[in-house]
Amino acid sequence: MAFYLLSLTYLEHTIVSTGGKAHAFFRVYILGHCCVFTHNGTMSVWTSRCALMTSLCIFLNCSGTASTFEVTLLHTNDNHARIEETSVDSGKCSSRGPCFAGVARRFTKVSEIRKKEKNVLFLDAGDQFQGTVWFNYYKGAEAAHFMNKLGYDAMAFGNHEFDNGVEGLIKPFLQNINCSMVSANIKPDQTLATKLSGYYQPYTVINVGLEKVAVVGYTTAETPFLSMPGQHLKFEDEVKALQVQVDKLETLGYNKIIALGHSGFAMDQEIAKRVRGIDVVIGGHTNTFLYTGKPPSTEVPAGPYPFMVRSNDGRNVPVVQAFAFGKYLGYLKVTFDQAGNVVKAVGNPILMDSSIPQDPDILADIGEWKKDLAQYSSQYVGQTLVYLNGTFEECRFRECNLGNLICDAMIYHNIKYSSELQWNHVGICMLNSGAVRTAIDEHYKNGTFFQHKCFITKAAVVVTFKMYQYLP
């Protein structure tokens, strides 16, 4: 007579945290067994106890199986108010050349990925503010509105989010944004603590499928020198501030931790190397383009995607950015083991070109917002017969003709329109190169440009002055 021996075991496990990761220790107890089948398949011995044992065996077998967890991380950074689609150099899109980016195109791709894949997080690493007439007019309300439409899960503050001060961040943006805002190293004093309470946290924990993923934020400590956050916000050292929050998260039992922030590629690597417990770093600020393989457009990769960093505690930590202006959508697929270690990280930025259709509903929404924008943006500024180069590659590192034009215009205006409040016989203009955000194409509308083409942030005519430096 053939029979099967059904054994029931009880599995007890303990989680212990060492070296920044959780490890499981198991203890097994044998509870009993029973013989259940005859040679012809009929039950000879079967009790309610056996039925219970069978159910428990199935449950324990399923729940005790070692498994991995895969999450898809979609990310953007340094969008700089590019609501509409853009040209190849992220200026105004024209019918003469290919068009890229725009929130309507991004909505299409993000929706497609969310339908195909189970565990998806959509994150932004800061600098939604500043760069086009959309921000000049709406002051950040447009960013909050369309980020809500796209369904971002979390965002870190960039330095440009503080260009209009704290009040200029709260009213148009923080009061309207739906996603979690995170920064571990921005600390308000008593003057601002109550006003900012509830608008942002050091980290957020997001349910992704059956797992919990923590996202902890950071913002460049140089923000007080780059923008206008005021005297009541302190920007602490990123590494030290992050370590405090990561230690707290691990104590609470979270072992999948993403650092999301805006401090530049060099600092992103330092965070990956020095902050114990960080599994992935998603950054911004330096508009870094990373890519594995042949790049799909004009950007030259600064390294592979993801850029792997060996941490001080011996782990391989993927670091990513996705260039800027919404031209690419970062796409990183990360696999964690049961202890929360990254065992695989693959992907590449997705070029947001015209092969990706723009969502018609989002386009219609943009059209409604443009109605209020129309009069402001159609103010005539001038006309050019040559290409005014305001690209990052040209103006950030050397003299460029658009920078010269802006400074010449500032000096001319200052001398022509005299004032008793300032010295008018100036001969020098100082304009930070970060104030020039894009080029002006002489072929677009015969070189005529309006307010919507003037992407200048701040500048100062030199006599005696206090100048704020604006960088990425």
CA–CA separation, 157 vs 148, rounded Å?
16
Q: How confident is the model at residue 59 (pLDDT cuts 50, 70, 90)?
A: very low
447 pLDDT above the threshold of 70: no
Judge if 25 and 150 occupy the same domain: no
467 in any annotated domain: no
Distance of CA 417 to the CA centre of its chain: 43
Judge if 42 and 83 occupy the same domain: no
The whole-number average pLDDT for the span 158-177 is 98
Of the residues 302, 325, 360, the one at which a domain ends: 360
pLDDT at 449: 58
Judge if 31 and 48 occupy the same domain: yes
Judge if 137 and 246 occupy the same domain: yes
Q: How confident is the model at residue 113 (pLDDT cuts 50, 70, 90)?
A: very high
Judge if 54 and 164 occupy the same domain: no
84 pLDDT above the threshold of 80: yes
pLDDT tens-place string over residues 448-471 = 555 544 444 433 333 333 444 444
375 in any annotated domain: no
Judge if 396 and 257 occupy the same domain: no
Give the CATH number of the domain where residue 107 resides.
3.60.21.10
User: Residue 19: left if φ>0, alpha if ψ -120 to 50, beta else—which one?
Assistant: left
152 in any annotated domain: yes
250 in any annotated domain: yes
470 in any annotated domain: no
371 in any annotated domain: no
Give the CATH number of the domain where residue 454 resides.
3.90.780.10
Asked which of 200-204, 330-334, 369-373 is least confident by mean pLDDT, the reply is 369-373
pLDDT tens-place string over residues 346-392 = 999 999 999 999 999 999 999 999 999 988 877 777 888 899 998 87
pLDDT tens-place string over residues 23-58 = 444 444 434 444 444 444 444 444 454 454 444 444
Q: What percent of the chain is modeled with pLDDT above 90?
A: 65
70 pLDDT above the threshold of 70: yes
Distance of CA 437 to the CA centre of its chain: 20
pLDDT at 276: 98
pLDDT at 215: 99
pLDDT at 377: 78
Judge if 138 and 193 occupy the same domain: yes
- Higher-pLDDT residue of 219 and 413 is 219
- Note the pTM of the prediction, 2 decimals: 0.77
pLDDT at 95: 81
CA–CA separation, 157 vs 434, rounded Å?
18
SS3 161: helix
Judge if 457 and 438 occupy the same domain: yes
Residue 449 token pair: 């440009």
Residues spanned by the domain of 83: 69-360
CA–CA separation, 346 vs 10, rounded Å?
38
Share the mean pLDDT of the chain. Answer: 85
* Rounded to 5°, angle at Cα 151 from 93 and 239: 95
340 pLDDT above the threshold of 90: yes
Q: How confident is the model at residue 441 (pLDDT cuts 50, 70, 90)?
A: confident
Location of structure tokens 């996705």: 322
Q: How confident is the model at residue 4 (pLDDT cuts 50, 70, 90)?
A: very low
347 in any annotated domain: yes
Closest CA to 332 of 68, 69, 67, 71: 71
The whole-number average pLDDT for the span 87-94 is 88
Structural domain tally of the chain?
Answer: 3
Judge if 308 and 437 occupy the same domain: no
**106 residue type, one letter:** R
Q: How confident is the model at residue 144 (pLDDT cuts 50, 70, 90)?
A: very high
The whole-number average pLDDT for the span 284-288 is 98
Judge if 184 and 324 occupy the same domain: yes
pLDDT at 28: 40
- Higher-pLDDT residue of 403 and 47 is 403
SS3 322: coil
Judge if 257 and 109 occupy the same domain: yes
Half-sphere exposure of 107 (CA within 13 A, CB side): 21
368 in any annotated domain: no
320 pLDDT above the threshold of 90: yes
The whole-number average pLDDT for the span 424-430 is 79
- Higher-pLDDT residue of 425 and 396 is 396
Judge if 90 and 51 occupy the same domain: no
